[in-house]
Amino acid sequence: MSTSDRDPSVLFVCISNAGKSRMAEALAKSFRITAGAQLTVHSAGTRPGTAANAESVAALDEIGVPTPDAAPKPVDPDLLRTSDRVILLGTDVQLTLPEGAHGTLERWVTDEPSTRGIGGMERMRLVRDDIAARVRDLVREMTDGY
């Protein structure tokens, strides 16, 4: 948890901010609300797309988790500097924290079922479930174990 008087914060980053990082953001907000915990959650992309991944949205809808309404967005340098945790989702996204950044940077090498020949909604459900397990642990850790 942050040592300041503000809520802890996390920024999830993928390349397009259309799938994995948006999924992580939505799941973190859902877990935070369910737990009644305080956590500021953001997501962004290093090369944002133009719309959310439809299968990602459908996979979250299946479990009753609303997705962000906003269009994919680029990484905000201020969020990079001030977030307690910056989490890169996947192996392709590349990013470094700016000098003087407050938090830590980590990479989650998420499940990629397409490497096993799994596609479509089956793939997206596996990706969702992998990210959900990681996000649940993160929210628990960042909010003193809700």
pLDDT at 5 over 80: no
Cβ 43 vs Cβ 12: under 8 Å: yes
Class of domain 9-142: alpha beta
Q: What is the pLDDT of residues 105-123, one digit of tens each?
A: 999 999 999 999 999 999 9
Residue where the block lists tokens 């977030």:
83
pLDDT at 13 over 70: yes
Look over the chain and give the mean of its residue pLDDT values, rounded to a whole number.
Answer: 93
For the four alpha carbons of 69, 70, 76 and 82, in that order, the dihedral sign comes to: negative
Model pTM score: 0.93
DSSP readout, 37-77?
---EEEEEESS--SS--HHHHHHHHHTT-PPP-SPP-BPPH
For residue 127 the two structure tokens come to 């990706």
> Which SS3 state, helix, strand or coil, does residue 133 take?
helix
> Which SS3 state, helix, strand or coil, does residue 104 take?
strand
Q: What are the domain boundaries of the chain?
A: 9-142
pLDDT band at 37; cut points 50, 70, 90: confident
